[in-house]
Chain A
Amino acid sequence: MSTKPWQTWAVNPKLGIAMKEPVQLVKIIKNAKRPLLVVGALANQIEVHDGKTLLDLIIELGKNIPVVATSNISKAFLEKGFHPAAIMTVVNITNRLSDPDWKGIDGKGQYDVVIYTGMTIYLELQMLSRLKNYANWIKSISLERFFIPNADIGLANLKVDKWKEGMKVFMEEMRK
């Protein structure tokens, strides 16, 4: 598949790396000292595998990685009995992530790996532009099935089935 940005206009001199398989992200996430998941409002509308949605995967990942629920996705999380580490708008969390002095949600300091997913694609692109240009201590990752070049590392433009399959393997590896 092409590694040109999914949204064709999102061309800039500095483009992130596009991975062909979600599983290639596992090592980076597992090696993170202070990872954070930022989850957008579409998470419960994106189907993955075995009748699950992206939201279900996040809840599982949320056992080990703090989750920031942006916008109204908090309601879907709470309905499934999962309380995110924080509920705030995506601009608020992105603004704080780009402040070197921010102490984090738990007061223990900034994050080193931040994973964005489940978001309106062009809004996520802009939020990751902020981190790319104003938060060089953060390695940003996008889990969308589209190549979002403002993330340091993202996925290549994957067809739906390939992405679903890839996410299944990704989760299997994350569980290990």
Chain B
Amino acid sequence: MADESAKIKIEGLKTDTVKAKSIEIHIGKIPKEEWTEEPQGPHPMPSMSQLREWDFKLLKKYPPFYAPLCDMCCLCTYGKCDLTGGMHGACGIDLTAQQARIVMIACAIGCACHAAHGRHLVHHLIHKFGANIPLNMGSEVAVEAPCTRTVCGFKPKTLKDLEIALDYVEEQITHILAAAHTGQEGNALDFESKAMHAGMCDFVGMEVADIAQIAGYGFVTADPEAKLVEVGLGSIDKEKPVILMIGHNVAPGVEVTNYMRKSGTYGKVEVCAICCTALDQTRYDFGSKIVGSMGMQLRFIRSGVPDVVMVDEQCVRCDSIEEAKKIKAPFIATNEKICQGLPDRSKDTTDQIVDDLVSGKEPAALILDSDKAGEVAVRVAMGIAPKRKKLKNLVDYDEIKDVAAGCKACDICVRNCPNNLPIPEALAAAAKGDYSLLVELWEPCLGCGRCEYNCPNDINPHSLIAAAGKDLFAEDKFMMRSGRGQISDTEIRSVGAPIVLGEIPGIIAIVGCATYPNGPKELAKLAEEFLKRRYIVVVSGCSAMDIARVKDEDGKSLYEVYPGIFDAGGLVNVGSCVANSHIVGAAIKVASIFARRNIRGNFEEIADYILNRVGACGIAWGAMSQKAASIATGCNRFGVPVIIGPHGAKYRRQYLGRSDIDENWMVIDARSGNNVYAGPCPEHLIYAGETLEECIVEAAKLCFRPSDNFKGRAVKLTHWIDLHKKYYGIIPEDIEKFVRIEADIPLTLKDEIMPILKQKGWQPREIPDPTLLPRLIRTKK
């Protein structure tokens, strides 16, 4: 595959209606056809409205449920406009459309983030290694870019080809954002369709970013035995000079490692990172450490341990530069998206920048050259570490006691705490020398610092929590499997049938940010519940790190107990946020490799296949960001349901099915063309859970698919019923909706279930070959 561009020049044109001279037509990059195995599908590079019909099918089944976070619109100078009580804004928009518009904007932001990240990496890698670097995803991966193939309709072969996919995504983002302007789209369902479009494009942008870095940096790919790496605050060796990186774009981090290797300083400097940069850094350099998820930023910087703070892009706290200054750690910004008002030092010599930062003449620098930033970070860390030794300590208990005594119990901190944590009670106890309540806040504290910004008495609860928990700091040390990248075609061949028939009860994808209602340790419980039941558990991003934070009796994390293979009982860390594309990619590969469906430019059919046949459920228990909104909405368009945590209700919109309305659950039986009741499978496309226990029960339920064969449905019912009894204390009250024939009922539960079915007047029904697309009916009536 290679891109081609064309220029057509017409000197003169004369028809019945047109008379023109000197016309030039420029056609940008278009894929040059080399993919002969599959015919082009109906929707290569679909425009914003081309998949609208599919979206509307989904939105009819799963109507948007809006719960406004803000009842007003403040996007233009007509307003603010109050949209409550059926009022319309000055532009004519109503509350429902406004909610949908905000969600669409969030999805466009999220999609733009990943696409821009991908664009930066592709530019950088082409500049560094050349445009013709092949996209080699390993010997067991022939379907190298399933999302791109499905959405864009071409097979990328080199780094240069990825630019074509990015061109497409960038154009779509522009159109989507344009639709948000005053006086553009005004219908909620059409905003939702555009949000789904952004989400779908996001999967292309993410896939491009990840396969570009795999190809360019030689990351491991499709490797179930990717190495174990260290994670946690306690894994950082503070006796060495410490470089902390924060963000998502690994390019400068790679150059840190390259410089250390080149200069003979490898091993003499501790390189660690927060958020997805950490995950990708450990795919390049297994000796790097993962500090933790996004919420660790304030906690770790304030510990004084980092000698240098280097940021790249996304999810970086806006005040990280101020926090770095407070601990006298030089701050280096490396990406155009985060310049922090700093002078651009990219063209200065490395010696000049290092001198300025080590001497303290300048506290920070913007260096938009990854190679230079990498070298500067290492040399500055080595130069400044000896001067900073005394700064690497948290405050002691006496100081906590004195500060806590100043609390007036006004409750402003708890009222500003996203998790409503009982901070005043903890401070009152600390003032009396009892630090146990402060220590208890260590786990559920999100690390946002809002308690401090709002305290009228200048108390710093967040720092006090960190200081009170300093013993936990040292113990916070775990092992996790580094990101493995794609799921191999071989793995898909092995699990395709059991997934589609339901004999592997489901794929549970635990992904996303770290805004958990009760702290990160819940995630390990969630993962283990499904691992023990031999679901395939796939993880990525901040969630992948946080799952590691619990040890069993032998001191092992889940990663040390469960294998990294994409198979029943496997715990599969695909990598950073952008590696989420491999999770939907795996579902596409099931359609392509197992079911031999053509995926090329064939989004609608593939999404229909996934929705009706691939029992996967995403869980973003701490979803916070616009990127998470975009990823979740993209999953939904691909037919994958998602559960978000209770904070996720603040996204304003969920897609909820109504299991009590039978006509909503009709599918077409592709064998006969008949409409058949298939039950509420899956019941929702995206919904916010209240507790982790609920999330576990509902995730098992969301793995049901209309296509499950009786053996598979029995396996799925076994787990769902067992979990329902375990956590809800009772057999599910709507069980009749999920039993199609008697053979669906697990043998051991027959005596219990049959009387219930009888009481409810249950009748057997056929198991369809399900689809929502009339064009897939095989027998014409």
Contact = CB atoms under 8 A, between A and B. Distances in A.
Interface of A: 6-9, 12-14, 40-41, 70-72, 74-79, 86-87, 89-92, 94-96, 98-99, 119-123, 126-127, 129-130, 132-134, 136, 157
22 contacts: A8-B412, A8-B415, A13-B72, A13-B84, A71-B689, A71-B691, A71-B693, A75-B729, A89-B687, A89-B689, A91-B687, A96-B660, A120-B646, A122-B646, A123-B688, A126-B69, A127-B67, A129-B68, A129-B71, A133-B66, A133-B67, A133-B95
Given A41-B690, A75-B727, A91-B687, A134 B84 contact: no
B679 to A, nearest CB: 16
B654 interface: yes
Contact of A123 (B84, B646, B684, B697): B646
A6 B415 contact: yes
Contact of A87 (B69, B411, B689, B730): B730
Contacts of B95: 133
Contacts of A41: 690-691, 693-694
A37 to B, nearest CB: 16
Contacts of B684: 91
Contact of A75 (B82, B647, B688, B728): B728
B649 A40 contact: no
Interface string B52-83: 00000000000001111111100000000010
B656 interface: yes
Contacts of B649: 91, 122-123, 126-127
Contacts of A72: 691, 693-694, 697, 727-729
| Shortest 5 CB-CB contacts between residues of A and residues of B | A75-B729, A126-B649, A72-B693, A71-B690, A71-B694
A120 B71 contact: no
Given A71-B689, A157-B411, 11 more contacts: A12-B72, A71-B693, A71-B694, A75-B729, A78-B730, A79-B729, A87-B733, A98-B65, A122-B650, A126-B67, A136-B85
B89 interface: no
A169 B272 CA distance: 57
B660 A14 contact: no
Interface string B106-143: 00000000000000000000000000000000000000
A91 B698 CA distance: 12
B656 A13 contact: no
A9 B95 CA distance: 19
B690 A90 contact: yes
B729 A89 contact: no
Given A41-B690, A119-B690, A87 B698 contact: no
Given A14-B71, A121-B420, A134 B694 contact: no
A73 B733 CA distance: 15
A94 B303 CA distance: 44
Contact of A8 (B68, B84, B416): B416
How big is chain B's contact interface, by range?
Answer: 35 or more
Given A122-B418, A133-B68, A89 B690 contact: yes
B658 interface: yes
Nearest to B412: A8
Given A122-B420, A127-B67, A13 B82 contact: yes
B538 to A, nearest CB: 24
A47 B567 CA distance: 45
A117 to B, nearest CB: 13
B66 A134 contact: yes
B690 A13 contact: no
Interface of B: 65-72, 82, 84-85, 95, 411-412, 415-416, 418, 420, 454, 517, 646-647, 649-650, 654, 656, 658-660, 684, 687-691, 693-694, 697-698, 727-730, 733
Given A71-B693, A121-B420, A123-B688, A91 B646 contact: no
Contacts of B690: 40-41, 70-71, 89-90, 119-120, 123
Contact of B656 (A7, A78, A79, A92): A92
Contact of A91 (B415, B656, B660): B656
B69 A95 contact: no
A41 B696 CA distance: 14
A81 B85 CA distance: 42
Contacts of A134: 66
A8 to B, nearest CB: 5
A134 B99 CA distance: 13
Contacts of A75: 727-730
Contacts of B66: 130, 133-134
B691 A14 contact: no
B71 A13 contact: yes
Interface centre among B687, B691, B693, B698 (most CB of A within 10 A): B691
A89 B727 contact: no
A14 B729 contact: no
A91 B654 CA distance: 9
Given A72-B727, A74-B729, A120-B517, A126 B650 contact: yes
A152 to B, nearest CB: 13
A12 B412 CA distance: 19
A133 B68 CA distance: 8
Contacts of B71: 12-14, 129, 133
A8 B650 CA distance: 15
Contacts of A127: 67, 649
A133 B694 contact: no
B522 to A, nearest CB: 13
B84 A129 contact: no
B159 to A, nearest CB: 44
Interface centre among B66, B70, B420, B729 (most CB of A within 10 A): B729
A96 B661 CA distance: 11
Nearest to B517: A120
Nearest to A5: B415
A25 B106 CA distance: 39
A130 B65 contact: yes
B70 A12 contact: yes
Contacts of A126: 67, 69, 649-650, 688
B458 to A, nearest CB: 18
